[in-house]
Amino acid sequence: MSEFALSQTQETFVMNLGPQHPATHGVLRVKLTMDGEYVVRAEPVLGYIHRMHEKMGENRTWAKFLPNTGRMDYLHALAYNHGHVMAVERAAGIEVPERAEYLRVITTELNRISSHLLWFGAFVLDLGGFTPLLYAFDDREQILDLLEGVTGSRLTYCYYRFGGVYNDVEDDFLVGTKAFISRLRSRLPMYHGLVTKNIILIKRLKDIGPIPPDMVTRYGATGPVARGSGFNFDLRKNEPYSVYPEFDFDIPVYTECDSMARYMVRMDEMEQSMRIIEQAIDKLPEGPVKAKKVPKTLKPPAGDYYCAVEAARGSFGVRIVSDGTNTPYRLKLRSPTYSNLSLFEEASEGMLLADALALMGSLDLVIPEIDR
Amino acid sequence: MNPIPEVLRLVIYLTCLILFAALNAAYLVWVERKGAGHIQRRIGPKEVGPFGLLQPLADGIKLMTKQLFLPAGVDPVLFKVAPILLLVPAVMSFVTIPFSETLVARDINLGLLMIFAFASVNVLGVLIGGWASNNKYAVISAARAVSQNVAYEIPMLITVITMVMVTQTMNLNEIVMQQPNIFKWYVFRFTASPLMPVAFLIFFICSLAETNRAPFDLAEAESELIAGAYTEYPGMGFGVFFMGEYANIVIGCAVTTILFLGGWQCPFGLAPGWWWFLAKLYLLIWTVVWIRWTYPRVQFYALLNLSWKVLIPISLVNLLLTGAMIKVF
């Protein structure tokens, strides 16, 4: 159908989707060349919220960059915290106490669930269903309350420190987390009944926006986008870090390559994250939450270090080049959504506008993370 | 016979109908917001007046005090005419709606025909508004609105023809009088055609699509087209469009009530009157609100496929079946 439409092309027009548009969820601008309602070319234009995070990192001490990490992917801030502290710990050779690692896993997985919940709501909003957004926010609110009690903030967390976490958790937090998990377990079937099994939604997602495996490898897409195209790739399993090897969980993989597959991957991931949190709470060891010998002025030995974590949107990598001073010589961040967005131009070719927006929603874009 | 002079009667009816349309538009927004709040586990408007009941007034004042700004490049005449073209046909359609046996502005023989004649005018408002706006989103929206209306007018009119065959009249009051109790409502009149409930469903779906309501709200799909044809409209320009939209919903539900649900007749034959008509009308409108806050939006081609491949064949089968039944029995 789309090939036919493209062969009929006689006249196209350029339409700006964004930088202010309800479907881009931020300040992304997509320059659309349209033929009627068909997208001939979709060219993402970036830079509207560029804040030079990498350069900032090179101009301040290692610890002072920590709050910046929570301001890139503000929806899964703790994973970004985690990536940075892990890279610096690896560079400086700091051992992290086991309890701190467990707390990192619990909080980062909670944060992952909250990120997926928000994506779920926003995605269905893109498809024109308003109500699921507020149901998802209702659940997400519980997570924010839990994390606020531990970290002190609700969105742009800065909880991890080099060599541990900022402070220990109270028992309330663990009890509340368990209560939340049982609550979400009872709510997920409702989401599936209301949204996943809805015939309109199935028609809008099934076979829409295919991302074949070779496109995933060419653009370096990761996270749910890759797992929805049949790649069993998750850094928590493939390059285990922290204490993830101690937990029993599955990586949801779908081979359909369409928007529905990416949707299902994220819905299943929430269940897996709940499994991880439950096991982590049960196994949570006693002990300190901060390493004892962390120098106040950190000066990692000169060298080149790389560390990657699995964030909600894919692999987040931190590369630091240290010259032995108290600031990094070079800080390079690899953010997953940047690669995931890059394939949009090729994948959306010849699609209808509404389908292209469904595809864009299924990529789960967070713009401040693309622009950094 | 008539104690009130004709001219005065006309003025009273005109005032009342415009008031009815405006009040409905204002308070349906309130119902919609409260209903959405209820469905979404929040409160909805509550600050202005008790239960937020004065909120529509505040919104109206806000819209009226805004500058009627003409964006650069719009067609100044068409841009201003378009909202009126949407509202006036909707208000005109109220003229033939029988609120009760005696409460009707003009009890004309071709009431049904008149309503559908006016119903096809209002799409012109959206088309002109979108075209005159000089905005690409608005043009796409206008094109969508037109093809959607054309596609859904066909099954709707086929169903109406079926109904006219059964009722043998186009006078809305007579149609209502043929349905004195729930067993004689046309939605359950299986003796006329076994597919009557299906016809009701087709008619209701079509009226959802005709009035651009979710899940068929493609013309103003806010996550795709911002506000569609209304994107560029400031203040009361947008307000009039809004009133027209809600007036159209009321008309759609009123016609459904009259054709299938017995209009002002009581389900049990007790005390017929305008209260029954309004009760049924608002029940249907509540259903429309309910659907909007439950379902996602369909795709454009799915919308057209539904009409051409599903609704039109079924309504044609219904037409033939009804014709055969009338001939045989």
Concatenated DSSP letters of A71-122: TTSTTSHHHHHHHHHHHHHHHHT----HHHHHHHHHHHHHHHHHHHHHHHHH
Residue B60 lies in a domain: no
Total length of chain B: 329
Q: How confident is the model over A233-269, as pLDDT tens digits?
A: 888 888 888 888 888 888 899 988 888 999 999 999 9
Banded pLDDT at A6 (limits 50, 70, 90): low
- Neighboring chain B residues of A206 at a CB cutoff of 8 Å: none
Q: Is A4 on the interface with B (CB under 8 A)?
A: no
Which residues make Cβ contacts (< 8 Å) with residue A30, sequence separation at least 6?
A16, A17, A18, A24, A42, A43, A44, A45, A344, A360
The verdict on residue B48 lying in a domain is: no
Q: DSSP code of A168?
A: P
Domain that holds residue B265: 69-328
Is A353 in Cβ contact with B224 (below 8 Å)?
A: yes
Complete domains list, chain A, with CATH: 2-371 (1.10.645.10)
Q: pLDDT by residue (tens digit) across B24-69?
A: 888 888 888 888 888 888 888 888 878 888 888 888 888 888 888 8
ipTM over 0.85: no
Give the residue from chain A lying closest to B42, CA to CA: A134
Amino acid in position A147: L
Structure-token match 């496109």, residue found: A215
- Evaluated on CA atoms A68, A69, A73, A76, the torsion sign reads negative
Q: Is residue B20 part of a domain?
A: no
Helical H segments across chain A, by residue range: 2-7, 53-58, 66-69, 77-92, 98-126, 131-151, 171-191, 199-205, 213-219, 224-227, 235-238, 259-283, 336-342, 344-347, 353-362, 367-371
Q: What is the pLDDT of residues B273-328, one digit of tens each?
A: 788 888 888 888 888 888 888 888 888 888 888 888 888 899 889 888 888 888 88
Closest chain B C-alpha to A112 CA, distance in angstroms = 24
Whether B254 maps to a domain, the answer reads yes
The pLDDT > 70 percentage for chain B reads: 99
Q: Per the structure block, which two tokens stand in for B202?
A: 């087709």
Q: How far is CA B149 from CA A83, A178, B182, in A?
A: 53, 52, 32
Q: Is the Cβ of A200 closer than 8 Å to some Cβ of chain B? A: yes
For residues B138 and B228, is the Cβ–Cβ distance under 8 A? Answer: yes
What three-state secondary structure class fits A40?
A: strand
- Given B215, B293, B296, which is nearest A124 (Cβ)? B296
Q: pLDDT averaged over chain B? A: 83
Domain assignment present for B149: yes
| CA A33/CA A16 separation, integer angstroms | 9
Contact B223 A128 (CB under 8 A): yes
Give a yes or no: residue B28 inside a domain.
no
What separation in angstroms does the CA of B106 have from each of A297, B5, B96, B98, B213?
88, 15, 5, 9, 29
Who among B144, B215, B226 is closest to A200 (CB)? Answer: B215
Residue of A nearest to B296 (CA): A129
Residues 6+ apart with CB under 8 A from A279: A246, A247, A248, A249
What residues of chain B lie within 8 A of the CB of A203, using their CB?
298-299, 302
What is the per-residue pLDDT across A86-133, written as a single tens digit (0 to 9) for each? 988 888 888 888 888 898 999 999 999 999 999 999 898 888 888 888
Give a yes or no: residue B25 inside a domain.
no
In a domain, B61, yes or no: no
Whether residue A212 has a cis bond before it, omega within 30° of 0: no
User: Do the chains contact at A129 and B295, CB–CB below 8 Å?
Assistant: yes
How many Å is the maximal CA-CA distance in chain A? 71
pLDDT number for residue A5: 57
Q: What is the mean pLDDT of chain A?
A: 87
B227 touching A, CB under 8 A?
Answer: no
The pair of three-digit structure tokens given for residue A214, joined into one six-digit string = 């070779």
Non-local (6+) Cβ contacts of A286 within 8 A are A99
Q: How far A357 CA lies from chain B's nearest CA (Å)?
A: 7
A7 pLDDT band, cuts 50/70/90, is: low
Q: Which of B42, B224, B301 sits opposite A357 (nearest CB)?
A: B224
Structural domains of chain B, count: 1
Q: pLDDT-derived band of residue A351, with 50, 70 and 90 as boundaries? A: confident
A138–B226 C-beta distance less than 8 A: no
Residue A1 pLDDT? 47
